Amino acid sequence: MELQDLSTLPALQNRLDEAEKDGQKAFHDFTDPDMMKWFLYERRHLNQKNDRTERTVREYERELLLFIEQLLTYSTEIDVDVAYIIEGSLFKSLQSRHLRRYQEWLATDSPYVVSKGAYSPATLERKTTILKAFFAFLHRVGYIQEPIHQGLRIATVRKDDRPNRDLGPVDVVMLLNTFRDMQQPIMFTIIHVLTTTGIRNEEFCTLQVKDLKVDSIQGGYYLDVLGKGNKRRHVPLKEKVVHSIRSFRNARGLLPIERAHLDDPLFTTNTGRAYSPSYLSQYVKKEITSLEQLKLSDQTMKITPHVFRHAFAIISKLNGVDIYDIMRSLGHEKIETTMIYLEKIFEKERHAIHAWKPDIFGDYI
């Protein structure tokens, strides 16, 4: 069964309904592919917009298929010592040690690591989270009997493992001035919009003309942004940012906002197509890397669109904005996520040196 063939979902639902009607266990006649499909595409909400986004589903699907492929291809190296296959199911035949061994092999001896080097801690955390969620689901619904997901090692990213994404106002202004002086409105606008709105890479790429709306209450414009979990938020735009957007569209030869089709992309590549998140990231990195004379505060920092989301949080904090307002503006569900963006700022602000008094340490502070 093709996982992305959603026409079979109603049939799976009917089988569950029949099992309930006949007093049988749910999923008693499901196969491994059936379970994967149900996990990925099950309708959990009455309003389908509240279910997982397509991008999230694709990421989960890609990771689970890779897990199966590698487990079967490298079974000897991983030491998948399965004595026998239970009911024709790979998932029912696995035990905790197999998930742990796969996780350890993935981090140390997998083909990616051998050819390209170690995965980042964040990548290992993401992969572990997906596997844990899937096997916890299989156990919760009774498809497997043991909570084997508990065999996975904790892969939480430590603060020191996170890449530096702290881009402050000095560096952002330097970048804006550089691209303005180069008369490069494309990169200027991308940086200007990302920094002043804090929107995600994917949110930027999926914006359409109709998402740029007139604010009839406070005046000006705002972006109607569709974020993670299909949740919308309204992001106000400063007048100069709207001007940058107009300049971008003019440079690309696009129709003015007032005359463009509502479903047209708000921002496009030079081919007239909407950006993809991966292409936007590559484009931003390439354009900034090409600025050989530019000296940012941290020369080792890799500038991606996401870095400007961090810049939004940092600049907001430096302007005295309450952290809960920053959290809501970024579309974060948890304050802890916002704290990660600002932890180095808080660490510096709360350093003991700031409490030292001149009359105790003389002229040396």
Of 180 and 56, which is predicted with more confidence?
Answer: 180
pLDDT at position 51 is 63
Higher pLDDT, 218 or 299: 218
| pLDDT per residue as tens digits for the range 91-110 | 999 999 999 999 999 999 99
Q: What percent of the chain is predicted at pLDDT more than 70?
A: 93
Within 8 A by CB and 6+ apart from 320, the residues are: none
Residue 168 and residue 311 in contact, taking contact as beta carbons nearer than 8 Å:
yes
**Helix residue ranges, H only, the chain:** 9-21, 32-41, 54-73, 75-78, 90-93, 96-108, 111-116, 121-140, 169-181, 185-197, 201-205, 239-251, 277-289, 305-318, 323-330, 335-349, 358-361
CB 79 within 8 A of CB 71: no
pLDDT at position 180: 96
Q: What is the mean pLDDT of residues 50-69?
A: 86
* Nearest of 102, 107, 38, 35 to residue 70 by alpha carbon: 102
Buried/exposed code over 166-205 (b: 16+ C-beta within 10 A; e: otherwise): bbbeebbeebbebbeeeeebbbbbbbbbbbbbbbbbbbbb
- The amino acid present at 152, given as its one-letter code, is L
- Predicted confidence at residue 350, as pLDDT, reads 87
**Residues sharing a CB contact under 8 Å with residue 288, sequence separation 6 or more, in sequence order:** 175, 187, 294, 303
Confidence band, pLDDT 50/70/90 cuts, at residue 82: confident
pLDDT digits (tens, 9 = 90+) for 313-359: 999 999 999 999 999 999 998 998 899 888 888 888 888 888 888 88
Predicted pLDDT of residue 4: 60
203: nearest Cα among 269, 266, 270: 266
Q: Is the pLDDT of residue 158 over 60?
A: no
Q: How far is Cα 204 from Cα 277, in angstroms, rounded to an integer?
A: 8
Q: Which two tokens stand for residue 309?
A: 């989301």
The CA-based angle 127-130-133, given to 5 degrees, is 145
For the chain, what is the radius of gyration of the CA atoms? 25
Domain ranges of the chain: 6-161, 169-349
Residue 48 has pLDDT above 60, yes or no: no
- Average pLDDT estimate for 282-311: 88
172-190 confidence digits (pLDDT tens): 999 999 999 999 999 999 9
| pLDDT (average), residues 140-155 | 91
pLDDT at 159: 56
With beta carbons less than 8 A apart as the criterion, state whether 252 and 268 touch: yes
Mean pLDDT for 127-155 is: 93
Rounded CA separation 252/335 (Å): 38
What is the mean pLDDT of the segment spanning 142-155? 90
Select the more confidently predicted residue: 57 or 251.
251
- Residue 303, sorted as left (phi over 0), alpha (psi -120 to 50) or beta, turns out to be beta
- Comparing 74-78, 182-186, 280-284, 336-340, the range with the smallest average pLDDT is 336-340
Average pLDDT, the chain: 89
First-to-last alpha carbon distance for the chain, in angstroms, is 70
- Flag the least confident range among 84-88, 127-131, 311-315: 84-88
> What is this structure's pTM?
0.69
Percent of the chain predicted with pLDDT > 90: 65
Tell me, what's the pLDDT at 166?
Answer: 83
Q: Is 360's pLDDT higher than 90?
A: no
User: Does the pLDDT at position 112 exceed 70?
Assistant: yes
Determine the average pLDDT of the residues in 132-160: 86
pLDDT at 343: 86
Question: In the predicted model, is pLDDT for residue 203 greater than 80?
Answer: yes
Q: 10-42 pLDDT, tens per residue?
A: 899 999 999 899 999 999 999 999 999 999 988
Please determine, for residue 164, whether its predicted confidence score (pLDDT) is greater than 80: no
CATH code reported for the domain at 169-349 = 1.10.443.10
